[in-house]
Chain A
Amino acid sequence: AQSVSQHNHHVILSEAASLELGCNYSYGGTVNLFWYVQYPGQHLQLLLKYFSGDPLVKGIKGFEAEFIKSKFSFNLRKPSVQWSDTAEYFCAVKVASGGGADGLTFGKGTHLIIQP
């Protein structure tokens, strides 16, 4: 079974700092990759996704992620964070082949705090 590892559980940055959150997965085949964001007290919302094609994907609110197949990584980046980016961020993976409906496998999340 696949697994997802997020390197940082808690990250504290100042506004305008650059952000990179690490995500690695453990499946050797073709995968679909996702980043979800959960703002305080809210449900999970899709930030961006990668299925195929250009390994650099852009999402909402200025976020982007790069899929590096050789490193089994899908790191999330933002050049300049804002206070409103304070949230929990989850990386998730699904095995692309077979069309199984057994959901996504999530990492444990990274709690990001942006200080004004």
Chain B
Amino acid sequence: NAGVTQTPKFQVLKTGQSMTLQCAQDMNHNSMYWYRQDPGMGLRLIYYSASEGTTDKGEVPNGYNVSRLNKREFSLRLESAAPSQTSVYFCASTTRSSGELFFGEGSRLTVL
């Protein structure tokens, strides 16, 4: 069982470059999420998608865009990367109204 798969696992960008983080889940989950994790800040929600075809902003959406390509895939795009976006990004999914999340292994992004 793959669960939630993220790519790439590591990426180094220069300021102003763009990139897309990919996320796919094979658990037939309806809802998908992108969080960023920073030291001392915990996890903060960037964007989420309650179901295929819908996306909503979370706590820290500025500088990011998302696409819910289909039920399985939810991508996060940085159009013009900034050093403040250096972080570890986690994708998660759930189909449970309880809120229990299943996480991917994370993508470590460094913006120089």
Contact = CB atoms under 8 A, between A and B. Distances in A.
Contact of B103 (A43, A99, A101): A43
B56 A102 contact: yes
Contacts of A46: 100
Interface residues of B, number: 27
Nearest to B51: A101
B53 interface: no
Query: In which size bucket is the chain A interface?
Result: 20 to 34
B103 A44 contact: yes
B98 A32 contact: yes
Given A49-B100, A103-B48, A42 B105 contact: yes
Contacts of A103: 31, 33, 35, 45, 48, 58, 92, 99, 101
Interface in B49-66: 50-51, 56, 58
A44 B40 contact: no
A102 B103 CA distance: 15
Given A43-B90, A102-B56, A102-B58, A90 B48 contact: no
Contacts of B41: 108
A48 to B, nearest CB: 11
A80 B94 CA distance: 32
Contacts of A68: none
B69 interface: no
A32 B100 CA distance: 9
Interface of A: 9, 32, 34, 42-46, 49, 51, 90, 94, 96, 99-104, 106-109
